[in-house]
Amino acid sequence: MKDYSLSFYIKVASTLFTCWPIMLHAQETLNQDTLQLNEVEVYGKSVNFYPIKVIPAKTFQFEAIRDIGDFLRQEPNVSGIRKGGVGIDPVVRGFKYNQVTVLLNSGVKIEGGCPNRMDPVASHVESENIRKIEIIKGPYVLKYGPVLGALINLETELPHPYSKPEIHGEVLYGFETNWNGQREHIALEGGNDKVFFNASGGFKGYGSYTGGNDIQYNTSFQKLYGTAGAGIVLNKNHQIILSYSYDQGKNILYPALPMDERLDQTHVGSFNYTGRNLGKIWQSVEFQGYFSSVHHVMDNLDRPTAKTMQAVTTVDAWNGGGKLTGNLQKGLHKFLVGLDFEHVYKDGDKQMTMKMIMDGDTFISVKHANVWLKALVNNTGAFAEYKIPFKKLDFTAALRLDYNQATSGDTFRLVKNGIAYFDDLNSIFLNVSFSLGMKKQLVSWLFFSASLGKGTRSPSILERFIKLMPVQYDSYDYLGNPQLKPENNYQADASFDFMDPNLGSLSVGGFFSLVTDYIIGKIVPPSVIKPSTQGAPGVKQFSNTDKVYLTGFEVSYQSPTAKKWGLLAMVAATYGTEPEAVKYIVSDGQVVGEETVKNDPLPEIPPLEGTVKFSYKLFRGKLIPNASVRLVSEQNRVSQSYGESKTPGFITAAASVSYAPCRFASFVAGVENLFDTPYYEHLNRRIVGSTERLYEQGRVFYFTMIFKF
């Protein structure tokens, strides 16, 4: 790593030395030929009927973020589950895991390999390659596949045509203290109006960080990645784009999980065709095909437990499919119709090597167990959307049908006293989802939006077929349930949006969600099956409960962008309740009884929090100091049935300054956790073998520079 970094510094220095005079000359020319205009802010009627946030790359490319999940926690009502330095799993309005759909470029999907989700979807994509992020809260957008609670769409940099031959490049370098980490990225793109391309690559190397409590946590990791893409315009109305990306994680440590990630190799390829202006009614046709593969290896070789038992788990996961979409318009009536298909396949093996020393002799025994055995899910969907704009009222409706099939090659069976716990491995579901939305302009500066929808999610491969692994918040071993029913989310959203060019924008919104057949863990009697993980009090099987409720609100204010000063203020909260839950009583590490808990809060729901950010533009926006404060309340609404602990509130502050002397270069220096506050998020997991939470990093100074040509 050191040799690599040194060579990179030399290349950057030589590039600066060679190009800086050219850049200065170009800037002088621009200053002579360019008329400086004041910023103009244009307000129009929004076409969004549902809660959506679009985050451009310039918002996060300079920040000190290790992965996308880390950055997303800054958004209102979006949090994340931390288990190590990277791989933070997004939670949106209390929906988590597969209840949140995460995809690339409006359709490309990735299936992680780890049963404990040390590699959620966003961890397979680097922030340096992302053009923008879309967060859509609720089950309202149905053209991207089945959505239960929220959708996160990561738009990566794809090649695009140019009106004339051009070539552009970008070099990024970032460094952070505390972690002693660095990231290096280089990108190239270009072409003309017929043929175009892009390519990029980078490296990240971070050490273990120290929390504000002065304890160092084993969170080091290394990432290596690269992308390539090419496109061609067949004629003015037809375009084809091919893209490929590779992402490798190596030696990634997770102190809150029983294993570390030794190696993770991800390949993603896609084919995109677009045809436009095809007729008076047919506006466009789009086809997208993709594949993704993940080879995931994890072990406990760096843990004390490896002295007596070494465990190595290897999982291969594949996801492939495609989507065909057509856009039609007749007068003011707009239609979108389409078909999509997704194939998910997982196969994994766990090898356990046990060592025993007796009378000076070492005895070794090896045992194999499959994590998944040729498990697969196929989902075929059909969807349609309709939109009609009026003078002061817009309306939209969407409908989706999904045919979901699942099976597994497992030979494992569990039938006791005539009850089948793990038997019939095949399931077929026909799911229906729908949404309605309207947006009403009350006066010129005030809008009212309302959405109503039903989203349905079929159970994941993990929930259906996992066998005796601690994969949830509690310490129980979990058993899959091949006969789980799909979850259904009936949700309503409403918001008022105030917009004025002189005063800024204010949004006040709330939601209510009823989820039926909610998937939770229910205890399996020890007479039926015993746990295989040391220290697990028992075995829980994924099961459907009757219903749960989630409700919450989001309020945000954004000052006018035309002003020199900028202010962003946000506050949000979610509350979840299970009307009737079962609490298991544990004594001496064993389940000895149970009791019913009425109106038990759902587990892993983040508390009320607010953020205030302030900035000021100096020297016509070339120099911008920034400051932010985040306030998080204590979380006292915790689940008794899951044995969840209360967490204290905290306040953190950050500051930075950005400087862009010309359009070719930008620099940012800043500090996170300015006052070195010791704190942890409510969703941070516990350190393995203890009751202590994994603390967030303490004070971090960072520096980022980007050069473009």
Secondary structure string (H, E, C) spanning 134-176: EEEECCCCCCCCCCCCEEEEEEECCCCCCCCCEEEEEEEEEEE
pLDDT digits 0-9 by tens, 606-645: 999 999 999 999 998 899 999 999 999 999 999 998 889 9
| DSSP-derived pairing of the beta strands 89-92 and 130-137 | unpaired
Query: Is-contact 703 669, C-beta < 8 A?
Result: yes
**For 64-223, where are the alpha helices, taking DSSP H only?**
68-72
Rounded to whole angstroms, the Cα distance separating 183 from 224 reads: 10
Rounded to whole angstroms, the Cα distance separating 516 from 541 reads: 18
Residue 19 pLDDT greater than 50, yes or no: no
For residue 627, the model assigns a pLDDT of 97
Q: 32 lies in a domain?
A: no
Q: Which of 18-22, 93-97, 186-190 has the lowest mean pLDDT?
A: 18-22
* Total domains, the chain: 1
Q: 9 lies in a domain?
A: no
Quick one: 218 exposed, middle or buried, by C-beta within 10 A (0-12, 13-18, 19+)?
A: middle
Six-digit token pair at 408?
A: 């597994």
Residue that the structure tokens 């090419």 belong to: 230
Rounded to whole angstroms, the Cα distance separating 524 from 539 reads: 6
Rounded to whole angstroms, the Cα distance separating 517 from 64 reads: 40
Residue 32 pLDDT greater than 60, yes or no: no
Quick one: 296 exposed, middle or buried, by C-beta within 10 A (0-12, 13-18, 19+)?
A: buried
Q: 383 lies in a domain?
A: yes
pLDDT digits 0-9 by tens, 453-496: 999 999 999 999 999 999 988 888 999 999 999 999 999 999 99
pLDDT digits 0-9 by tens, 497-513: 999 988 999 999 999 99
| DSSP-derived pairing of the beta strands 427-443 and 477-479 | unpaired
Six-digit token pair at 30?
A: 């621009």
Residue type, 423: D
* Average of per-residue pLDDT across 46-60: 82
pLDDT confidence tier of residue 153, bands split at 50, 70 and 90? very high
Q: What is the overall mean pLDDT for the chain?
A: 89
Rounded to whole angstroms, the Cα distance separating 580 from 546 reads: 9
For residue 594, the model assigns a pLDDT of 82
Nearest CA-CA partner of 548 in 518, 583, 521 = 518
Residue 28 pLDDT greater than 80, yes or no: no
Q: 33 lies in a domain?
A: no
pLDDT confidence tier of residue 43, bands split at 50, 70 and 90? very low
pLDDT digits 0-9 by tens, 249-277: 999 999 999 999 999 999 999 999 999 98
The end-to-end CA distance of the chain, in Å, is: 27
pLDDT digits 0-9 by tens, 532-555: 888 888 899 999 999 999 999 999
DSSP 590-654: EEEEEEEEEEEEPSS----EEEEEEEE-BTTTTEEEEEEEEEE--B----TTTTPPPB--EEEEE
Residue 9 pLDDT greater than 60, yes or no: no
Rounded to whole angstroms, the Cα distance separating 50 from 397 reads: 12
Residues 512-537: b if buried by 16+ CB within 10 A, e if exposed: ebbbbbbbbbebbeeebbebeeeebb
Nearest CA-CA partner of 121 in 154, 157, 93, 145 = 154
For residue 587, the model assigns a pLDDT of 75
**For a pLDDT cut of 70, what percent of the chain falls above it?**
93
State if pTM tops 0.85. yes
Residues 256-293: b if buried by 16+ CB within 10 A, e if exposed: bbbbbbbebbbbbbbebebbeeeeeeebbbbbbbbbbb
**For a pLDDT cut of 90, what percent of the chain falls above it?**
75
Rounded to whole angstroms, the Cα distance separating 401 from 106 reads: 18
Q: Is 97 left (phi over 0), alpha (psi -120 to 50) or beta?
A: left
* Average of per-residue pLDDT across 122-136: 94
For residue 33, the model assigns a pLDDT of 35
Detail the DSSP E strand segments found in 331-426: 333-358, 361-389, 393-407, 414-416, 419-422
* Average of per-residue pLDDT across 152-178: 95
Tell me, rounded to whole angstroms, the distance of Cα 427 from its chain centroid.
28
Residue 205 pLDDT greater than 50, yes or no: yes
| Cα-based angle 223, 626, 630 (whole degrees, multiple of 5) | 75
Residues 49-59: b if buried by 16+ CB within 10 A, e if exposed: bbbbbebebee
For residue 292, the model assigns a pLDDT of 97
Rounded to whole angstroms, the Cα distance separating 253 from 124 reads: 16
* Four-CA torsion 115, 121, 127, 130, nearest 10 degrees: 170
For residue 510, the model assigns a pLDDT of 96
Q: 6 lies in a domain?
A: no
Q: The domain that contains 180 carries what CATH number?
A: 2.40.170.20
Q: Which carries the bigger pLDDT value, residue 591 or residue 521?
A: 521
For residue 307, the model assigns a pLDDT of 86
* Average of per-residue pLDDT across 566-579: 96
Residue type, 323: K
For residue 358, the model assigns a pLDDT of 74
Query: Is-contact 174 704, C-beta < 8 A?
Result: yes
Residue 35 pLDDT greater than 50, yes or no: no
Is residue 125 classed as helix, strand or coil in its secondary structure? coil
Q: 11 lies in a domain?
A: no
Rounded to whole angstroms, the Cα distance separating 351 from 310 reads: 8
Six-digit token pair at 152?
A: 């996160």
Is residue 8 classed as helix, strand or coil in its secondary structure? helix
**Which letter does DSSP use for residue 428 in this model?**
E
pLDDT confidence tier of residue 66, bands split at 50, 70 and 90? confident
Residue that the structure tokens 């552009």 belong to: 168
For residue 34, the model assigns a pLDDT of 32
pLDDT confidence tier of residue 6, bands split at 50, 70 and 90? very low
Residues whose CB falls within 8 Å of the CB of residue 247, separated by 6 or more in sequence, listed in order = 124, 125, 126, 223, 224, 225, 264, 265, 266, 268
- Domain assignment of residue 348, given as a range: 38-708
**For 163-280, where are the alpha helices, taking DSSP H only?**
none
**Which letter does DSSP use for residue 113 in this model?**
-
Q: 277 lies in a domain?
A: yes
DSSP 306-327: GGTEEEEEEEEEEEEEEEEEEE
pLDDT digits 0-9 by tens, 581-594: 888 887 777 777 88
For residue 181, the model assigns a pLDDT of 94
| Cα-based angle 460, 463, 466 (whole degrees, multiple of 5) | 115
* Average of per-residue pLDDT across 104-125: 94
Provide, for the chain, the percentages of residues in helix, strand and coil under a 3-state DSSP scheme, each rounded to the nearest 5: 10, 60, 35
Rounded to whole angstroms, the Cα distance separating 602 from 518 reads: 11
Q: 357 lies in a domain?
A: yes
Query: Is-contact 476 538, C-beta < 8 A?
Result: yes
Tell me, rounded to whole angstroms, the distance of Cα 165 from its chain centroid.
36
**Which letter does DSSP use for residue 84 in this model?**
S
For residue 62, the model assigns a pLDDT of 82
For residue 592, the model assigns a pLDDT of 77
